[in-house]
Every structure is written in C-alpha cells, then in structure tokens.
Structure 1
C-alpha cells in the first residue's frame, strides 16, 4: 500500500474528537444519548451520567464503543465528587464537558411551591454550576464546555417561570465562564434547544388531558413547522465541542427551527 493510501486510511480512522475524553451529564436518553453516540463515533472516550441505573445500562449498550456509565445525580455534590474522582483515576483529565442533565416541570407563578422552585434550580442551575466547578482541576487547556440552556430564557413562557429562569442562569454561566477561562484557552458556549422530541417532553405531555393538542401547540410556535430531533441538537453540540468552532466562545446557539429568531 502506498504512503498516500496509508495517510488516507489514517485520516479516515481519525475522528473530530480522537483521543479526547468527554463527560456528558444526563447521557442516558434524549439529547445526551444522541450526543454520546456522536462523540464515540468521532473517536472520544465518553462518560455518561444519569440517576437511573437501568436506563444507564441500556444507554451504554446502545452507544457501544468507548463509553463509561456513571450513576449519579448532579444535584448531589457527593455524586459529582465520585464522578470526577473516577474520571481522574481512569483518564487523568477531561477535554470536553456537556452539561445536559436537567428537568422541566410546569408550575405557574401562583401555583409554584418552594419545593418546585428549589428542585428546578438545584438541578438546572446549581447542578450545572458545580459540575463544571469540580471539573476545573482536570479540565485540559484548550478544552470545550457546552452548556445546555433552552429557548425559555429568551421567551415569556406561561407556567414555566422557574424553569426559564434556571435556563437563563445557564446561559449567563456561559458568558461568565468564557471570560474567566479565556487564559486557559477553554471555550464555553451554550445551546438552546427549541421543542425537541425527547423523553423529557413526553413526561410533560403525560399529565395533560389532551397531549396531542399540547404537541400541536408547540409545533405551531416553530416557523419550520415541526419538532426538532435529538440528533439535530447533538450535531450542534458536536460542532461546539470540536475544533470546528475554534473561534467561538461565550455564545448561545439557538437550535429551535427559528422560534426565537423569526
């Protein structure tokens, strides 16, 4: 085989994330699962987290390749310590962090309880904050952090004030951390998905008397006239995690079919 052919074969085998270590919270379903699949296909060693052991095991088997499942709740700081201790022991460092774990529960301003508010912020905002803070000693220079926000931080959504505010906090983290970590050449960006076909959305429908009407109402808000897919969000995350986006930091990428832009 000629040297040119050898070079070509090596370039085919090398993915965008070859030799990288990535951690994806909430990686057992939906956007996190789709992202883990893409990262592994691009050559990364991927750690996925989730609260439910059975779902994690299924996801690990479905992803295949170089993936490690770590059970834990990002709202629990002890679980985060165990996650990063395992990554340190097995890999030594991390290159990419995707903070995908989150919840979306409806509660209007009059109906919202302190328990609802605290749970929403504990996972979406506090969990995201400490996931990254505890990873900093392991995060390689030139790394990438991708935070999953949501279009709720740009829109006035009735019944979701706590959720939307928690996602606004995540978007703010991207700006602050991008500035703070610039000296280490660590890029920080956020992705704001619009209505996406994922299990978290199905759980929202479950308590409604007419889930199809709710779905149709969501679709009606999207200029492209359809729901998005988890793979479409995962593609945006891969772009921001890889060197393809080497001149992008502090930004928020709306992947929403034009919902917030048109």
Structure 2
C-alpha cells in the first residue's frame, strides 16, 4: 500500500528544488498533488515532468487572491485537502546596517505572510487528522552572518508549528516543520552566485556539514513524506532537521 494513497495534497513553490522533489514523491506515494508557484511556464513544465496526479495552478502565495483561487479550484475538483506542504520561500543576504525596507517586505511577505494565509485558507477544506508541514531552515536556529531577516522568518515558521498545533488540537491536525540544511537547489545556486565570494561561501557551507556534502532535494522530500503520512501519526509540533548535522554539532 502506498503511504499517501488517495490523499489530496498542496505543495507551494512546486516548480523546482525541494517543492518539485516533494510533489514527485507525493505522487509516487499515491497522492493527487496541486503545485503552485509564480512562474507559470516553469510550473506547468514541472507538472508535465511529474506526470499524472500532478496539477499546476500558477499563483503567488503572498497574494490573497491567488491563494483563494487555488483553494476554490481544489474545493470544486476535490472537495478537500489532506496535506499542505508550505514550501514557497525566498532568501537574500542582508548585512545588518544595510537592510532595505523593500527587502524586508519581500522576504517576510513570502516566508511569513504567505505561509499564514496560505495554510489558513486550507483549513476549511482539511478533514480532521490532516497534516501540515512547514518548510523551515537551520538558519532559524543559527546565528549566521548577513541572514538576520531570512533567519527571523524561519524562526517564525518554527513558532507557527508550536502555536498551530495547540490551535488545531481539537481537530487532530498535525503541524510540523522540516528544517533543511544546505541543499543543492537552483535557489541556493542563485543566492550564492558564481563570483569568488559565492564560491567561498559554498566551500565554507560544505565544510561546515559533518557529512561533508550538501544535501539533495529528494532527501528533504523523504522527510516530508514521513511527516505527511501515518508513519508520523504521533508527531506534531516538532522540528525535523535534515541537515547533515550542520546545526546539530
């Protein structure tokens, strides 16, 4: 029996990286998955690559009208959503003392506002006993330089899992966080860039991982499948680090 057989799932930020790998893993485990993201062409290409069981709905989780359109469609087509993986996020370096208001608004808009209202919109469609997984990060637990805004958003994500677990306890909806370490994705490559500074950061990050390498999106997807499935039926309010030991030692 597939672990997510017959489940309806939503993956935000599903066109690449961790979101794509997780959507693919969900489908392989028997779920019907709605992926969303701002880049329509990339999103549709991702859905085509995953194949039957994956449905692309373009939209920005930081915009209320796009969130509502997503769940209106799911309500019409499925009537419920069993699993939400709030994965969409953005990251930028910002040296304290040089942070701009626009940068703050952009990162908090996607990483915090988008998660709050994206998950909240799913609740009326979620049966009791559903599973919500939030994509955190090891930066929420570390004091890495030039990361104060991004790290604060991920610390908020960790807090949401605790408070929402309490808020939803009567409905037995489980809320957990998966916190990746450095993962080889397009997003990380774009953040680091190809300059000498970027290469130095890449080498320093890799050197800080006890397992001696960056992780793969599929390794995060495996953890998310676990948190979405009945295998984690007694796990809620928790943070699961998948980081090669980066934040652990």
TM-score w.r.t. length of structure 1: 0.93
Q: Residues 126-168 of structure 1, C-alpha deviation per residue, up to 9 Å, x if partnerless?
A: 1000001111100111100000010011000111100000000
* 2:43–2:56 CA contact under 8 A, matched in 1: yes
Displacement of 1:113? 0.4
Match of 1:114 in 2: 101
**Structure 2 CA distance for aligned equivalents of residues 39 and 176 of structure 1:** 26
Displacement of 1:212? 2.6
User: 2:221 is matched with which residue: 234, 238, 249?
Assistant: 234
**Structure 2 CA distance for aligned equivalents of residues 183 and 205 of structure 1:** 43
Displacement of 1:207? 6.4
Question: SS of the residue aligned with 1:142?
Answer: coil
**Structure 2 CA distance for aligned equivalents of residues 33 and 242 of structure 1:** 18
* 2:20–2:46 CA contact under 8 A, matched in 1: yes
Displacement of 1:173? 0.4
**Structure 1 CA distance for aligned equivalents of residues 242 and 152 of structure 2:** 19
Match of 2:48 in 1: 61
Q: Alignment RMSD, CA only?
A: 0.9
Unaligned 5+ segments in structure 1 are: 1-13
Q: Residues 108-139 of structure 1, C-alpha deviation per residue, up to 9 Å, x if partnerless?
A: 11111011011110000110000011111001
**Structure 1 CA distance for aligned equivalents of residues 187 and 206 of structure 2:** 16
Please say if 1:222 is aligned against 2:224.
Answer: no
* 2:87–2:135 CA contact under 8 A, matched in 1: yes
Match of 2:121 in 1: 134
Match of 2:29 in 1: 42
**Structure 1 CA distance for aligned equivalents of residues 162 and 207 of structure 2:** 31
Q: Residues 225-244 of structure 1, C-alpha deviation per residue, up to 9 Å, x if partnerless?
A: 11000000000000000000
Q: Report the structure number with the largest CA radius of gyration.
A: 1
Match of 1:147 in 2: 134
Match of 2:58 in 1: 71
